[in-house]
Amino acid sequence: MRVLIVDDEKLARDRLRELLYDIGDYTVVGEAMNGNEAVEKTMEMNPDILLMDIRMPGMDGLEAAMHLMGSENPPCVIFTTAYDQHALDAFEVNAVDYLLKPIRKDRLANALGKARKLTLKQLSEVNQAREEMPARTHISVHMRGNIRLVPVQDIIYFLADSKYIVIKTDKEEHLIEDSLISLEKEFDEMFLRIHRNAIVATGFIKGIEKSPSGSWQVVLKDTEKKLDVSRRHTASVRRWARGSRTAQ
């Protein structure tokens, strides 16, 4: 079976590679140093199994696994972690395999033998065991069977459109199936609700102004496009604008 090793520490990757060689019947097709690389190399190399660290700089292993589960043929994931045993007991579920560092050969062989695909419910249980549940660093967009990762910091706004959400960046638009409410909750410190169908990245807001009809609009940086503010959200948007000017 084809294995992709994902860990930000070279010694840990080398250790897993040596153990896999000793066990036999497994081929290491590549290595990645973070979750972003893990997603990209999975799309490129199509491994059967990922041996993936949980805590890594940037995108961690849990977020990477969540993105990969949206692909047409997601790989099996075995997490590697430095969590202590007590913490692991809190979120162990039957179909989620993990390896506690330092990793032993017999434990790795056993995990590989029962590797299986994760479910959303199982990933959620693992997520809940973390001390913190940070917002995603990327949004995964599915294009012709592949995953495209859009950095959240590049997104100007999310706009509800029928059954989908439009992601707008400086150069492109994508459609996803998340709900606007869940996105607002997840990224509440980065985005501002301006309408029942729109949340805007505060870092891309130049200011607010009144339209000829008397309603308020959000003025975006580096573009002539303006977004309408609903009557319901006018007060909160104006408060944010006043606070933003004060902070400056």
Q: What is the CATH number of the domain that holds 93?
A: 3.40.50.2300
| Same-domain check for residues 74 and 159 | no
Q: In Å, how far from its chain's centre is CA 78?
A: 18
Q: Is residue 79 part of a domain?
A: yes
Same domain, 13 and 93: yes
| 201 within a domain of the structure (yes/no) | yes
| pLDDT value at residue 125 | 64
Determine the Cα–Cα distance for residues 3 and 26; give it in Å rounded to an integer: 7
- Is the pLDDT assigned to residue 106 strictly greater than 90? yes
Query: What one-character-per-residue DSSP string does 170-184 give?
Result: SS-EEEE---HHHHH
Judged against a pLDDT cut of 50, whether residue 91 lies above it is answered with no
pLDDT value, residue 127:
64
> How far, in Å, CA of 61 to CA of 55, rounded?
6
Band the pLDDT of 133: cuts 50, 70, 90: low
What CA–CA distance (Å, rounded) separates 238 from 215?
12
Look up the pTM and report it: 0.79
Between 96 and 23, the more confident residue is: 23
Asked if 11 and 121 sit in the same domain, the reply is yes
Alpha carbon 117 to its chain's center = 18
Q: Smallest Cα–Cα separation from 113: which of 123, 125, 100, 99?
A: 99
Binned at pLDDT 50, 70 and 90, residue 115 comes out as confident
Q: How many domains does the chain have?
A: 2
Question: What integer pLDDT is reported at residue 89 of this predicted model?
Answer: 46
Domain containing 169: what range? 154-247
